[in-house]
Structure 1
């Protein structure tokens, strides 16, 4: 849907399904409808590429191949997947172990992540014990926001709102009739809002690195950052953390805005 304002700027709304969620896009720019539709298609293609590369549940993805074979022998990774896994391993330490991409491994414990070995020399990965699996699901949509941000910058789109399933949001520039973009009563301006949690007692999906069990409780934790990938990591880590760890993490990342809410059901 496209609407041209009297000031000569155009507002384009589009949506599509990707990464197992709905992606809503609002672009506000002086570019033509055709130019803005090109940007939407560019974003769609980028998300399809990320899903093909890093979808834990797709047996044809590059990540699934890694999980099947990296214990047998080192696997050379694409440059992008290598950088993603490298960043996630780095933030395991920076989140006091609360963000762990190996929690879906067989016989998981808090030391399982030490079995993942990256080689910077040839961009390969190796698992030093069987049953290890890397799952980027608690990171991928945040990383996608950063990919989309790069596309919007490349295409010189200064005002945009990208909403991936209401849990991963990118807000650039301003709303057509105001400053920034208001999402769930949170004003965003050149920022990302990422949310992790359970929306009901039955729908649990985040595993605690402490005991390898699903985190209980119907609540959500949202984080506002300038980087969607880091925001996704932090919201996941804060939700999986215990009380003392959460307090420590909120001190370490005091420059980020954190919102904790209880879900009513």
Structure 2
């Protein structure tokens, strides 16, 4: 992930107790990096990308869960969300070579050169793991901001209902008209896109090319992992696919930046 994480906890707990909560969050983030960092040659995912085309490879429970969810939503998003787009000689059928065994919790790549990249998903998954930690410590009010692109808001700010997220410019929120901010209450805001016309990093599964232009797209959902899937899918989708996905999944707040 290699991203800054801002944590706000609003609680009557002692400072020592809250520091323990933060330390627990840091531990889980380090674990996720070791598990699913595509760019770390020593991560579990990197090792799988190197060997899963030779023989089935046993997965940790968390990596199995991540890959299984991504394959499920590849189907549900009309192929717009595809974690194999960085594979060698990629085609829209490459993802079909990823074979998961629920019984053995293994993965096998039927096609050599297939790789899985979870970079467009991992921060949202991390938000859900952080949510579990906060619930285990009975933290009722918190804001977690990962790199200004993946935000988890739980409960309320000390001075009002929900948590205000300011975009710095007027936006069309879809459900509230136009404003320069959103109020999140037990919700996640996830953003995908290009920071500039030069910094392109998302590949369209339909064209196998980088999506051009300086634009971003954000969605509000109740689950960070699913939110990452939707923001990425909607960003790479064409207009017809985007409209269909918004309607199919009842996405009430979709923001074009």
- TM-score, normalised by the number of residues in structure 2: 0.93
> Partners of 1:245 and 1:217 in 2: how far apart?
19
**Equivalent-residue separation in structure 1 for 2:89 and 2:246 (angstroms):** 30
**C-alpha separation between the residues in 1 aligned to 2:115 and 2:252?**
30
Which residue is equivalent to 1:162? Answer: 144
1:186 aligns with 2:182: yes
The equivalent residue for 1:149 is 131
1:66-115, CA deviations, whole angstroms, 9 ceiling, x for partnerless residues?
00000000001011100110000000011000000000000001000000
Name the counterpart of 2:219.
223
Instruction: Report the counterpart of residue 12 of structure 1 in structure 2.
Output: none
Query: How many angstroms apart in 2 are the aligned matches of 1:230 and 1:83?
Result: 13
- Which of residues 113, 118, 125 is equivalent to 2:100? 118
Q: CA deviation at 1:260?
A: 1.1
Point out which structure has higher relative CO (alpha carbons under 8 A, 6+ apart).
2
Deviations 1:166-221 (A, max 9, x none): 00000000001010001121110000000001111001111100121110111111
Q: Structure 1 residue runs of 4+, over 2 Å off?
A: none
Partner residue of 2:250 out of 254, 260, 263: 254
* Alignment equivalent of 1:34, drawn from 11, 16, 19: 16
Under a length normalisation based on structure 1, what TM-score does the superposition of the two structures give? 0.91
Instruction: List alignment gaps of at least 5 residues for structure 1.
Output: 1-18
CA distance in structure 2 between the aligned counterparts of 1:116 and 1:256, rounded to whole angstroms: 32
Paired residue total: 243
